[in-house]
Amino acid sequence: MYREHAIKGILADKRIMIAGNGREGRSVLALLQQLFPGRSFPVVEGNEAIIEEVEKNSYDLIVKSPGIPTFVFDGHCDRSRLTSLTDIFLQVYGDQVIGVSGTKGKSTTTSLIYHILHHYRDDVLLGGNIGIPLFELLPQMNEHSLVVAELSCHQLDGIRRAPHIGLLLNLYQEHLDHYGSYNDYKLAKMQMALKQGKDDYFVYCAEKGDLVEMVSLNSPLIVAQCLPYALSDKPDDFATGLPLLGDHNRSNVLAALKVVGLCGVGEKEALEAAASFKGLEHRLELVGEYGGITFYNDSISTIPAACIAAVGALPRVDTLILGGFDRGIDYTDLVNFLASAKGIKNLAIVGAAGKRILEALKSLGAVSDRNILQENDYSLIVDWCKRVTPQGGICLLSPAAASYDQFKNFEERGRIYKDLVRK
């Protein structure tokens, strides 16, 4: 295994517990068993069980899975003993990693960067929050490998070393149920820059207010070379012909070009490679035309900005499916946007988040000329959308809310929606 001695140097002679038995937890266990055969490593699932185990035994290292909030350990374990799969991987291989994060757009941009680089070189690997634990890349790695990693706030939280090239796309309110405040969430994302060295590169969007503010506030602590980018600096026909809709995706393309440029791929060559990129499922995905109506699946939309971007990317939205699990995020901007979006004549309102949005729209007098459906059953919702959306019109699922009130995740929500549309 490439750099095996460095991984062993972090883990050897330590009592290690694995907190969480998800995909990353299982990947950590597999690596530990490979490196240290004959040793046992307890894997503990559930916050209460984790606390009990930590209090009962003294561990040198606790490898935390992303889904377990760091605050679970407060008062029970010093944070210096916490680590993660991402933290260990970056400590050893960070100089070969391109890290991509942001509240929205990170999966698409990570995949696009990988797509472009893989077009011109064979030693590129894809992993991280996109569904491939970074440890699973180890058998393929060598000194020339380049890893393109999608990194969530949970994976960045607590890292000791950041990627050599770090890209931060945007910052919006998200995961407020996991963090104590929006500021704590933003600080977790900013580890991408704060844990870089002077020979690293930090790429960020100069058109996202909250992100620019965080970069400015933390600038005395950022030693990497900062490379801002702005879509407003490019002509209107920039990225014309690429299979990605909307200004938000054009901005993602520009971010990708900035990153691959640091790897030696010119803009012209990068755009040529990007032309064959197909986009990702559940991200403003064209489901198809059924009964004269065009359906789009944007189930990845779990925050207001994503819904606003999706509506703006399409020529006209007649019917919008909105709402889901309510995490208490601020919907003011979305409500104001919808109040002025007169073309959206049909609103299907789902869950507690949808109800809160609807009440805000009513207070603005913005529902009297609209068809409104309040319903949680997606089979009934899709049937209604087929009835009320005009021929030649567009129906969009872009909920601006999480899916956990009804579904395992946004992927399940999107697939059920597509299945119902195609019936």
Q: DSSP of 132-157, one letter per residue?
A: B-GGGGGGG--TT-EEEEE--HHHHT
- Judge residue 3's burial from the number of C-beta atoms within 10 Å of its C-beta, 0-12 exposed, 13-18 middle, 19 or more buried: middle
Cβ 313 vs Cβ 245: under 8 Å:
yes
| Site of tokens 């990988």 | 114
CATH T-level fold of 4-83: Rossmann fold (3.40.50)
Task: List phi, psi (to 5°) of 57.
Answer: -130, 150
Domain boundaries, the chain: 4-83, 86-274, 285-421
Cβ 149 vs Cβ 128: under 8 Å:
yes
**pLDDT value for 240:** 81
The secondary element (H helix, E strand) that includes residue 28 is helix 23-35
| Domain 285-421, architecture per CATH | Alpha-Beta Complex (3.90)
Helix, strand, or coil here: 288? Answer: strand
CATH T-level fold of 86-274: UDP-N-acetylmuramoyl-L-alanine:D-glutamate ligase (3.40.1190)
- Of 38, 39, 41, nearest in space to 29 by CA: 41
State the Cα–Cα distance between residues 266 and 256, nearest whole angstrom: 11
- Of 384, 420, 151, nearest in space to 299 by CA: 420
| Successive 10-residue mean pLDDT values, the chain, 423 residues | 96 96 96 96 96 94 94 91 98 98 96 97 96 96 97 96 98 82 94 98 97 97 98 89 88 97 96 92 95 97 95 95 95 97 96 98 95 98 98 97 96 98 95
- Of 278, 261, 279, nearest in space to 270 by CA: 261
* CB atoms inside a 10 Å sphere around CB 45: 14
**pLDDT value for 242:** 84
State the Cα–Cα distance between residues 171 and 101, nearest whole angstrom: 9
**pLDDT value for 119:** 96
From residue 150, give the alpha-carbon distance in Å to each of 134, 228, 385: 10, 19, 34
State the Cα–Cα distance between residues 304 and 335, nearest whole angstrom: 9
Cβ 109 vs Cβ 204: under 8 Å:
no
- Judge residue 155's burial from the number of C-beta atoms within 10 Å of its C-beta, 0-12 exposed, 13-18 middle, 19 or more buried: buried
State the Cα–Cα distance between residues 249 and 105, nearest whole angstrom: 8
Radius of gyration, CA atoms only, the chain: 22
Sign of the dihedral through C-alpha 222, 177, 320, 405? positive
CA 300 to chain centre: 9
From residue 165, give the alpha-carbon distance in Å to each of 49, 162, 202: 37, 8, 6
What pTM did the predictor assign?
Answer: 0.88
